[in-house]
Amino acid sequence: MTPAKRRGVFIAIEGPDGAGKSTQAAMLAERIEREARLRVVRVREPGGTPTGERVREVLLDPKLAAMCPWTELLLYMASRAQLVEEVIRPALAAGHAVVSDRFLLSSVVYQGYAGAIGPRPVLTLARAAFKDCLPDLTVVVDVPAAEGLSRSSRRRRGARGGKADRVEAKGLAYAEKVRAGFLDAAKRRLAGRSVILDGRAPAGEVAEDIWHEVRRVL
């Protein structure tokens, strides 16, 4: 079966934990609908399909802290392959915009750089599984590691009565590696066309910066 022709536009919002990605993804989706008059399909990673949400529970369970980087990578890729097949590819074929809260660059960074697998195997897997379905633009919302960490633990204290998830439990040195990984991978365009934006400004200003970049690919 030949895949349906791609007509829509695919934007991924990336960055370290606590950078404000989810807020920005929501604001961007609303703006694309309003100003570009496209229907927007929002997805989040890991998850976004029934299979993917089950995989997400396993990945984020603090009881499974001993999971090795390869297992993690393959689970993230499994969730992503399902999301591409079930949601993203059909949406693009129908001419919709897709806004994804995280995508391939997260695996390149968290499993590839920070998990010491290196970026290449991650990109090889992606090429094999969904190379025809990469973002037209990946936006990295960048914040210093310490700031991201404190923002996301504050948010979780509110939401979960104090429990850190598995990623947060790894601490500041890990968060520094993650941030450096995002900057390097985006500069080298490892997951395709990418821009890095400063996420420390008020949300409205960051949203303007994102819009400035996104409108060029619409």
Residues lying near ligand TYD in the complex (CB under 6 A) are found at: 17, 22, 45-46, 76, 101-102, 106-107, 110-111, 167
From the CB of 91, what's the least distance to ligand TYD, in Å?
18
- Considering the complex, state which of residue 70 and residue 95 has its C-beta at the smaller distance from ligand TYD: 70
Q: How far is the CB of 115 from ligand TYD (least distance, A)?
A: 8
Q: Which is nearer to ligand TYD, 49 or 107 (CB)?
A: 107
Output the smallest distance, CB 211 to ligand TYD, in A: 21
Which CB atom, from 1 or from 159, has the smaller least distance to ligand TYD? 159
Nearest residue by C-beta to ligand TYD? 110
Closer to ligand TYD by Cβ: residue 38 or 200: 200
**Closer by beta carbon to ligand TYD, 8 or else 15:** 15
Tell me the helices (H) and strands (E) count for the chain, helix number first: 9, 5
For residue 182, give Cα distances in angstroms to 8, 90, 158, 191: 26, 28, 27, 11
Q: Nearest distance from residue 76's CB to ligand TYD, in Å?
A: 4
Helices (H), 84-202: 89-93, 104-106, 119-130, 145-160, 171-187
Length of the chain, in residues: 218
Give the Cβ contact number of residue 161 at 10 Å. 7
**Contact (CB, 8 A) for 130 and 83:** no
CB distance 133 to 92 below 8 Å: yes
